[in-house]
Amino acid sequence: MTSANFRRLEKDYPWIANPLIASAPMLNIATAKLAVAVSSARGIGFIAGGYDLSGLEQQLIEAQDLVHEANFHGSHLQHSLSEPPILPVGVGFLNWGASLEIALPLIQKYRPCAVWLFAPKTGADDLLPWVQVMRSKVPYHIKIWVQLCCLEDAVEYTEKLQPDVLVVQGNDAGGHGFARSASIVTLIPEVLDQLESRKSSLTLNVGKPFVVAAGGISDGRGLAAAMILGADGCAMGTRFLASPEAQIAKGYRNEILRASDGGVSTVRSTVYDKVRGIYGWPTKYDGRGLINRSYEDIMNQEVTEEENRRLYEVEKLKGDDGWGPQGRMTTYAGTGVGLIRDVMPAAQIVTKTRCDAMQNLQKQLHPAKL
Amino acid sequence: MTSANFRRLEKDYPWIANPLIASAPMLNIATAKLAVAVSSARGIGFIAGGYDLSGLEQQLIEAQDLVHEANFHGSHLQHSLSEPPILPVGVGFLNWGASLEIALPLIQKYRPCAVWLFAPKTGADDLLPWVQVMRSKVPYHIKIWVQLCCLEDAVEYTEKLQPDVLVVQGNDAGGHGFARSASIVTLIPEVLDQLESRKSSLTLNVGKPFVVAAGGISDGRGLAAAMILGADGCAMGTRFLASPEAQIAKGYRNEILRASDGGVSTVRSTVYDKVRGIYGWPTKYDGRGLINRSYEDIMNQEVTEEENRRLYEVEKLKGDDGWGPQGRMTTYAGTGVGLIRDVMPAAQIVTKTRCDAMQNLQKQLHPAKL
């Protein structure tokens, strides 16, 4: 069951279980609490560094404390080393805004196990300094994860950056990604075929890259399907919004539990950034969220952008009532939102998804006679 | 390996093999030749009836001839019956335009094994007369397939029509579907969960509905993933564009072989209908095709709709040169287009996809030690 790819990753992440499940570094939501809970269940949790990194050090301190407190699979972390142990969580950066100068000393000090790079202003060349610095100025083997939304970036990132992990994100994902994109159904096989055919020119060290699928995976069925498509593991975002560890307003979480028919009830748009005054995302990106008045009013040309933004600020004052189809608060969610019906501790989400995925694979080959 | 669902379907389609693979009734492209080739490889081929049905009788006659000629798994078709055998292909209708009065006598005369209903003007109520007539006026058990793109329709169609097969179409699909939709990654599990939870109220006869996944499936990996998600089989469209049996211009087929990075190189739009003067599709639908000048010029506001349509007519005169990114000919294709690298006989596509799907499922559980 365990692939060579997994065994290679396991050398540096001795606490992980197969198949790997990561929690996505969702801005403002993926805090130390969520990340450590995910890693404690033998996944890899990511703290959102975001684009300004203002809260990152506080989160890293908290993660350190939580790891110390927890009855962690942390025996794994310390058994071989006289050096300080690494922190078994990663940090995600939005590279169109994040500063390497701010990030580096924090990484050196708190030793997260991975960086997850996403959305550079132009392309791989913007990420290259990050990769070079991580590999030369960080005194342990920090693994480099890069997230991408299309084949062209997968090839370019692999050639220029030789990352440890490719996070291949499909169109179903909540939050930001390419406005125009395929789901993981076609993107993962196409990425793998292309990398395989270019293997010699890519000077890949060994085997195929470790591929983490993202976008629409909400349970063990999604993870198992991703593995069949060629992925080694998955990252989930929306599913963790319904965990007590996520830092999320009650109004937002209630929407995640309520919404169904995710392909119809969500939409990809830039409006959910604009109402919050966020204009830094490169033009290829937008974000998938539940449809609400911020979106409808702009689509129906009932408000100007400026008025829409003002109405958003007013809506904030309503607290949890600002969410919902008649509300205006940004409610990023993937098309898998309809599969999420209960709040569940993050660690349990990880364990259950992993277990269900394996059972789904077994069941296909040996179905119960109904 | 064989599910109860498959065994139920097999009673009426004795030539099929598990997992079921169907060819989609692609307008102008899915002729008798393609449909019979698919059924001859133990799948189910569909002839496109479309919205005006003008060429349907000719195709049904041709299908009849081809089935007679072929060394078909047709022994299955005749062994038990004194009645005339059924035709082992189905017919697809675009129900916003198709006439039941025209369709019925053709079905009674040529006895296709299935009708595939899609895109009624409003909803299930438009399809109800079709279903009632098929069940009362057709003197054999013709199976009713309905295609849908969202959870709401899946529930409504199941409740009101009790179809034999649900074709659950995800956003990756080429050609027509919902402009706003999820991929099969989330849509299939959500449909199955919802139908399961409503089972009693739906008065489903037995078990779960037979679900055929569509949208992005181009090879055995896609089919295996669909099965893991809960589907019983798949329908493929784009993959069959690169078969000699498809009725397709060389310029179009060359684009299917050339194009890659399908999430980026294709787009969902209504422009590809408008340039051809087709205005009948209900408003929720658009079509996914390779990006070309028809799309770019409208997006960049360089032409009016009228001018765009005129330019399309001029482009037609160029023959095969009218296709490509700089061309204007409509080139419907799914995001899986980049997985299609060779022309392959339709029967071989079916056999290989089925075989690869099974191998992919096996491999997950018993991977080679790389």
Give CA–CA dist A48/A33, Å, rounded: 11
Return the pLDDT at A237. Answer: 98
Span A78-106, pLDDT tens digits: 544 557 899 999 999 999 999 999 999 99
Locate A229 and state its tokens. Answer: 């498509």
| Virtual torsion, Cα A31, A32, A34, A36, nearest 10 deg | 160
Closest by CA position to B167, among listed B20, B33, B50: B20
In the block, residue with structure tokens 């006289």:
A82
Answer yes or no: do B365 and A370 touch at CB < 8 A. no
Span B228-238, pLDDT tens digits: 999 999 999 99
Closest by CA position to B46, among listed B253, B159, B214, B191: B214
- A189: phi then psi, degrees, rounded to nearest 5: -60, -40
A vs B: CB pairs below 8 A: 201
Return the pLDDT at A77. Answer: 57
Q: Report the DSSP pairing between strands A285-290 and A175-178.
A: antiparallel
Span A126-135, pLDDT tens digits: 999 999 999 9
**Which amino acid, one-letter code, is at A153?**
D
Q: Does A182 touch chain B (CB under 8 A)?
A: yes
The mean pLDDT value for B65-94 works out to 77
> Which of A211, A364, A365, A370 to probe by mutation at the B interface, max B CB count within 10 Å?
A364
Give CA–CA dist B38/B329, Å, rounded: 27
Give CA–CA dist A340/A357, Å, rounded: 16
Closest by CA position to A15, among listed A122, A100, A90: A90
CATH fold of the domain at B3-249+341-359: TIM Barrel (3.20.20)
Q: How much is the mean pLDDT over chain A?
A: 93
The total number of residues written for chain B in this structure: 370
Span A288-298, pLDDT tens digits: 999 999 999 99
Return the pLDDT at B336. Answer: 98
Would you place residue A203 in the very low, low, confident or very high pLDDT band (cuts 50, 70, 90)?
A: low
Return the pLDDT at B370. Answer: 37
Span B158-178, pLDDT tens digits: 999 999 999 999 999 999 999
Would you place residue B363 in the very low, low, confident or very high pLDDT band (cuts 50, 70, 90)?
A: confident
Q: Give all strands of the β-sheet with A285-290 in edge-to-edge order.
A: A175-178, A285-290, A266-269
Within 120-149 of B, beta carbons closer than 8 Å to A belong to: 149
Which residues does chain B have within 8 Å of residue A207's beta carbon, measured at their own beta carbons? 370
ipTM rounded to 2 decimals? 0.96
Residue A370 pLDDT greater than 50, yes or no:
no
The residues, any chain, with a CB within 8 Å of residue A112's CB and separated by 6 or more, are A47, A60, A63, A86, A87, A89, A90, A91, A142
Span B253-310, pLDDT tens digits: 999 999 999 999 999 999 999 999 999 999 999 999 999 999 999 999 999 999 999 9
Q: Which residue of B has its CA nearest to A8?
A: B370
Return the pLDDT at A354. Answer: 98
Answer yes or no: do B189 and A262 touch at CB < 8 A. no
Answer yes or no: do A229 and B221 touch at CB < 8 A. yes
Which residues does chain B have within 8 Å of residue A225's beta carbon, measured at their own beta carbons? 185, 225-226, 228-229
- Residue predicted with more confidence, A221 or A205: A221
Give CA–CA dist B203/B68, Å, rounded: 40
Return the pLDDT at A111. Answer: 97
Task: State which H helix or E strand residue B166 sits in.
Answer: strand B165-169
Span B140-152, pLDDT tens digits: 999 999 999 999 9
> How much is the pTM?
0.96
Weakest-pLDDT range from A48-52, B65-69, B202-206: B202-206
Exposed e or buried b per residue across B224-246, where buried means at least 16 C-beta atoms within 10 angstroms of its C-beta: bbbbbbbbbbbbbbbbbbbbebb
Task: Nearest by CB to A335, from B186, B216, B366: name it.
Answer: B186
Weakest-pLDDT range from A163-177, A340-354, B73-87: B73-87
Question: Which residue intervals of B83-183 are DSSP H helices?
Answer: 100-110, 124-137, 151-161
Task: State which H helix or E strand residue B290 sits in.
Answer: strand B285-290
Return the pLDDT at B70. Answer: 79
Would you place residue A70 in the very low, low, confident or very high pLDDT band (cuts 50, 70, 90)?
A: confident
The mean pLDDT value for B185-190 works out to 98
Domain boundaries, chain B: 3-249+341-359
The residues, any chain, with a CB within 8 Å of residue A143's CB and separated by 6 or more, are A9, A12, A13, A90, A113, A114, A115, A164, A165
Return the pLDDT at B116. Answer: 98
> Which residues make beta-bridge pairs with B117?
B93, B146
Answer yes or no: do B184 and A185 touch at CB < 8 A. yes
Q: Report the DSSP pairing between strands B44-50 and B20-23.
A: parallel
Return the pLDDT at B321. Answer: 96
Burial status of residue A28 (CB atoms within 10 A of its CB: 0-12, 13-18, 19 or more): exposed
The mean pLDDT value for A108-127 works out to 97
Return the pLDDT at B76. Answer: 56
Compute how many other C-beta atoms are within 10 angstroms of the C-beta atom of residue B278.
15
Would you place residue B37 in the very low, low, confident or very high pLDDT band (cuts 50, 70, 90)?
A: very high
Return the pLDDT at B83. Answer: 74
Span A304-331, pLDDT tens digits: 999 999 999 999 999 999 999 999 999 9
Q: How much is the mean pLDDT over chain B?
A: 93
pLDDT over 70 percentage in chain A: 93
Answer yes or no: do B189 and A222 touch at CB < 8 A. yes
pLDDT over 90 percentage in chain A: 87
Return the pLDDT at B163. Answer: 96
Work out the angle at residue A140's Cα, subtended by the Cα atoms of residues A137 and A146, and round it to the nearest 5 degrees. 75
Would you place residue A199 in the very low, low, confident or very high pLDDT band (cuts 50, 70, 90)?
A: confident
pLDDT over 90 percentage in chain B: 86
The residues, any chain, with a CB within 8 Å of residue A120's CB and separated by 6 or more, are A95, A96, A126, A127, A282
Q: Does A258 touch chain B (CB under 8 A)?
A: no
Distance, in angstroms, between B218 CA and closest chain A CA? 8
**Which amino acid, one-letter code, is at A312?**
Y
pLDDT over 70 percentage in chain B: 93
Give CA–CA dist B121/B128, Å, rounded: 12
Would you place residue A38 in the very low, low, confident or very high pLDDT band (cuts 50, 70, 90)?
A: very high
Answer yes or no: do A185 and B185 touch at CB < 8 A. yes
Which residues does chain A have within 8 Å of residue B3's beta carbon, measured at their own beta carbons? 367, 370
Distance, in angstroms, between A197 CA and closest chain B CA? 13
Residue B205 pLDDT greater than 70, yes or no:
no
Residue B79 pLDDT greater than 50, yes or no:
no
Within 18-57 of B, beta carbons closer than 8 Å to A belong to: none
Burial status of residue B181 (CB atoms within 10 A of its CB: 0-12, 13-18, 19 or more): buried
- Residue predicted with more confidence, A216 or B82: A216
Q: Does B5 touch chain A (CB under 8 A)?
A: yes
